[in-house]
Amino acid sequence: MTPAAPPRLAGQPATLVIDGRVETGRAVLLPRGELVHGCADILAEALATLPADIERVEVDMAGVVFMDTAGLEFLDILGGHGRRQAVPVTTANWRGQPLRILELAGLDPADPLRTDRPRTAGHPSAPTAGLPAGRQPGPESAPAPSAVAAERSERLRVLQEEVAQLRRAIASRPVIDQARGVLMALHACTSDEAWHILREASQLSNTKLRTVAAAVTASAESDGPPPPAEVRSALRTALGRLGR
């Protein structure tokens, strides 16, 4: 196929950029960054720039490194575009944390835009396979609407909780990595050994891992304060178990 002029499809926020190329009858979008608040607007802007004669839209998600519940709105925008334009829209190459979010949301990573996924047993719109001919499922075969709503609410709660945990882990990683470097330099240990020292010190002192890491990093600076007594004791114990 002959490539057309490939416009740069980008939004203003630095968290997400959507590049793309347009070929005869086919558009390929390449989002890079995070699917967070505002990502749906960036996608809508990108889709609006596509030529009217596009027959297929493919979205390569390999460049997306983080996704929260706003990513589900991103998918809604994609699906809505396909329905309005009557063209197939597909996504591919989900990986890492965004892949986990799709799984938690109950979506098929191979085709999260599919709207005719088979229902699970007990769902109000589950198929009637296995029932005698002419017999419809009775009230006992489908949960009440309130039960369905409660299940969806719980799934969303778990999804939001995991996103929050991942955000905290991402925010904590720099100081933890710095502390590992300090321990490696001071005690001639490996990166994995430094990680185990920090984790064990956290458990022994009943102190958050990030707090232990911050104390270790601060103590390595010129005139930096030593770690609190309970953290120092826990670090000594952890180092001793590794023979340091």
101-150 tens-digit pLDDT: 888 777 888 888 875 544 333 333 333 334 444 444 444 444 455 565 56
Q: If pLDDT is split at 50, 70 and 90, which confidence band does 170 have?
A: low
* Of the residues 47, 69, 104, the one at which a domain ends: 104
CATH number of the domain at 90, please.
3.30.750.24
Within-domain flag for 176: yes
Residue 164 lies in a domain: yes
Taking CA atoms, 31 is separated from 41, 113, 155, 244, in Å, by 13, 16, 26, 47
Q: Number of folded domains in the chain?
A: 2
Q: What are phi and psi of 137, to 5 degrees?
A: -60, 135
| Residue 21 shares a structural domain with residue 85 | yes
Confidence grade of residue 88 (pLDDT, cut at 50, 70, 90): very high
Residues 6 or more apart in contact with residue 151 via CB below 8 angstroms = 143
Q: Is 207 helix (H, G, I), strand (E, B) or coil?
A: coil
- Model confidence over 21-63: pLDDT tens digits? 998 889 999 999 988 888 999 999 999 999 989 999 999 999 9
Phi and psi at residue 202, to the nearest 5°: -60, -45
Shared-domain flag, residues 169 and 95: no
Which pLDDT does position 234 carry in this prediction?
Answer: 93
Same domain, yes or no: 37 and 99: yes
Say whether both 172 and 230 belong to one domain. Answer: yes
pLDDT exceeds 60 at position 2:
no
- When pLDDT is cut at 50, 70 and 90, the band that residue 153 belongs to is low
| pLDDT above 60 for 6 | no
- Which residue segment(s) compose the domain that 100 sits in? 16-104
Sole residue written with tokens 């990986």: 95
Q: Is residue 217 part of a domain?
A: yes
160 and 235 assigned to the same domain: yes
pTM: 0.49
Q: Report the pLDDT value the prediction gives residue 126, as an integer from 0 to 100.
A: 38
Q: Does a structural domain hold residue 138?
A: no
> So what's the pLDDT on residue 135?
45
pLDDT, one tens digit per residue, over 194-230 is: 999 999 999 999 999 989 999 998 888 777 888 999 9
Instruction: List phi, psi (to 5°) of 121.
Output: -60, 135
> Of 86, 104, 122, which marks where a domain is finished?
104
**143 in a structural domain:** no
Residue 37 confidence (pLDDT): 84
Going by C-alpha positions, the residue among 53, 68, 51 that lies closest to residue 16 is: 68
Residue 35 in domain? yes
Verify that 99 and 163 share a domain, yes or no: no
Last residue of a domain, one of 81, 104, 127: 104
Q: Is residue 11 in some structural domain?
A: no
Spatial separation of the C-alpha atoms in residues 18 and 192, rounded to whole Å: 37
pLDDT of residue 10: 38
In a domain, 3, yes or no: no
